[in-house]
Structure 1
């Protein structure tokens, strides 16, 4: 890998406008006072990296559930999925991945299948690391029906800073494992509602890489 590729990552098109705004403000800050201008340079670089969209190598072995988000596993518990997903009312294992403002925020499909449901729910903007954020915050949920008929739910949740959730897919669409399906601006969380009979492959505090880290194994699929 070339040194340039280590530092210069592809940027998602959604970030271009924001980087442009940060750069314009930076020019104004230089005119006011040079030290403020350099602060603006730092913030512009941060904004560019926030919207980075690097290529990922998704494992192609069958029976794997892949992390849909970069970040840290903040919660693992059995809960009833949100009503808007239309999943059975039985409790499911939920894995929550918290994304800080320094993580890549492009979200990727954890499994392949057909998008059965896309459900947006307005709400509050509590700290996304809190458990009640799953019920109270603005969110957008997807249900993906896999080839064997089982369903997996994944919910994008806004946080303290995030004010817009973007979803790039729609109901009825076929989606590949690791395919980009959404983005959340400036700090947030993803909840994954796993189908019954999976073998969990992560622990609280573990760092996740969207599209690459194995989150669970369907039916305990072997390595």
Structure 2
């Protein structure tokens, strides 16, 4: 396991602030109260540990298959439905949504190999990730990847009430590979994946996903 570079500044800043508060308490507030100092240090370590775990990147054996759509994020499947995708396709697609809690790994990965045909970033609101309008009103990105056989897969990074910064590493025209890091949502949120209606969905609502590992759907030309 390693720690993601997106967390370096936050982890260092948090560590320094907590250390300063603990030293201030030790020398000026609770210098004669050992119990209070111990409890404060324990609370600081727990808080720092929670911040660090947000940015963990576990070592995994990734899944690679040219006709499969792999989960772009850790989390729980909360939506599987046919819906109208009106931003890019302007037609019906099968939507699979993965909710990322603050305890999940927050790295996002390319679900397929291909060329980025469309990318758009939208600033927006910070509704809770399960709100029906979060997919269209929250801060988000939309990415469309075209596979070698011409099939296109769209997915969105969506910020939530806690996550307020989306990071991405892709651009239009860029070739990308399945399983590579394509971005990061700080402190969790949601990822929506849109596949063709004839794709065979391999997951069900409530299933827990491992980004880069779990197969979401099988594609057909």
Q: What TM-score does the superposition give when structure 2 sets the normalisation length?
A: 0.90
1:108-147 matches, within 5 Å, as 108-147=109-148
Cα distance between partner residues in 2 of 1:60 and 1:138: 30
1:56-135 matches, within 5 Å, as 56-83=60-87, 86-87=88-89, 89-135=90-136
2:17 corresponds to which of 10, 14, 25: 25
1:49 corresponds to which of 28, 46, 53: 53
1:35-68 alpha-carbon deviations (Å, 9 max, x no partner) = 2332121111111111112233222333111000
2:3 corresponds to which of 11, 15, 29: 11
Q: What TM-score does the superposition give when structure 1 sets the normalisation length?
A: 0.89
Cα RMSD for the two superposed structures: 1.4
Bigger Rg, which one: 2
2:3 aligns to what SS in structure 1?
coil
1:80 aligns to what SS in structure 2?
strand
**Bigger Cα displacement from structure 2, 32-41 vs 167-176:** 32-41
Q: Where does structure 1 differ by over 6 angstroms across 4 or more consecutive aligned residues?
A: none
Contact 1:29 1:40 in 2 (8 A): no
1:128-176 alpha-carbon deviations (Å, 9 max, x no partner) = 0222211111101100011011111010000001111000111111111
Contact 2:92 2:197 in 1 (8 A): no
**Bigger Cα displacement from structure 2, 170-179 vs 53-62:** 53-62
- Superposed displacement of residue 77, structure 1: 1.3
Cα distance between partner residues in 2 of 1:76 and 1:119: 23
Distance 1:82 1:163, change over 3 A: farther
1:40 equivalent in structure 2: 44
Name structure 2 gaps, 5 residues minimum: 26-35
Aligned length, in residue pairs: 209
**Bigger Cα displacement from structure 2, 103-112 vs 52-61:** 52-61
1:172 aligns to what SS in structure 2?
coil
Cα distance between partner residues in 1 of 2:43 and 2:98: 30
1:1-23 alpha-carbon deviations (Å, 9 max, x no partner) = xxxxxxxx201111111111111
1:62 aligns to what SS in structure 2?
coil
1:178 aligns to what SS in structure 2?
coil
**Bigger Cα displacement from structure 2, 131-140 vs 36-45:** 36-45
The answer to whether 1:168 aligns with 2:172 is no
